[in-house]
Homo-oligomer: A and B are copies of this chain.
Amino acid sequence: MGRPRQFDEQDAVTRATDLFWRRGYNATSVRDLGDELGLTPSSLYRTFTDKHTLFLRALDHYRATESVQAEQRLDTDGRPIRQVLRDWMLWLVTCPADGEPGRGCFVVNTATELGATDDQVRQRTEAAFDVTRQALRSLLCEGRRNGEPTTGLDLDAAVELLFTTVLGLRVRERAGHDPERLATAIDAVIGALGPMPAEPS
């Protein structure tokens, strides 16, 4: 009943995510959002309550799209886990560069900007981090089952090392660092998992 919307709510959230991702929370004004989404203030507030709620929705949208896409790429299709990890990390540091480098990871950017003060945000960023850690753990477990041991590192240590490195890579991509240098770091951390096991004959 009533007059239908002239805009697509999901599309609006996507655009809002894009803007928050690039500029951060505090540097993005409601008027900026209204211009970018093509919404008047009344529509924006009736639909999304307020700026903070819209930001939380943007964060959830990011987790449901970008983050999920990232974890899908951690699925082995029978490939060696070192290759999966390498391709995944290389993709992480180049995917935001498509069209526009220096965006980094929305979750990481948000955690550093608001994580220390905003509990609702912190809860979401920590959940996103946990998902990534869990995906890494699963991958390493699968590698062990398939005879690709990570020598010299127990499971916890390998997960923490990889996860920490990924956060560092995200920051460096945001900072505009040379992708080749990031690739060097990626190869180094893959090597830290131990020598590539011999191909079964």
Tell me the residues in window 168-201 of chain A with beta carbons closer than 8 Å to chain B beta carbons.
168-169, 171-172, 174-176, 181-182, 184-185, 187-189, 191-192
Report which residue of A112, A182, A184 has the largest number of chain B beta carbons within 10 angstroms of its beta carbon.
Answer: A112
Per the CB 8 Å criterion, the residue count for chain A at the interface is: 48
* Number of copies of this kind of chain in the complex: 2
**Bound CA span A129–B104, Å:** 17
Query: Which of B115, B158, B169 is within 8 Å of A164, CB to CB?
Result: B169
The reply on A1 being an interface residue by CB < 8 A is no
Secondary structure at chain A's binding surface: helix, strand, loop or mixed?
Answer: helix
Known: A122-B176, A181-B160, A188-B161. A108 touches B112 (CB 8 A): yes
Within the complex, the shortest CB–CB distance from A195 to chain B, in Å, comes to 8
Say whether A163 faces chain B, with CB atoms less than 8 Å apart.
yes
Complex CA distance for A58 and B97, rounded to whole angstroms: 31
Contact B192 A191 (CB under 8 A): yes
Interface residues, chain A, with chain B CB atoms under 8 Å away: 22-24, 26-27, 102-104, 108-109, 111-113, 115-117, 122, 125-126, 129, 152-153, 156-158, 160-161, 163-169, 171-172, 174-176, 181-182, 184-185, 187-189, 191-192
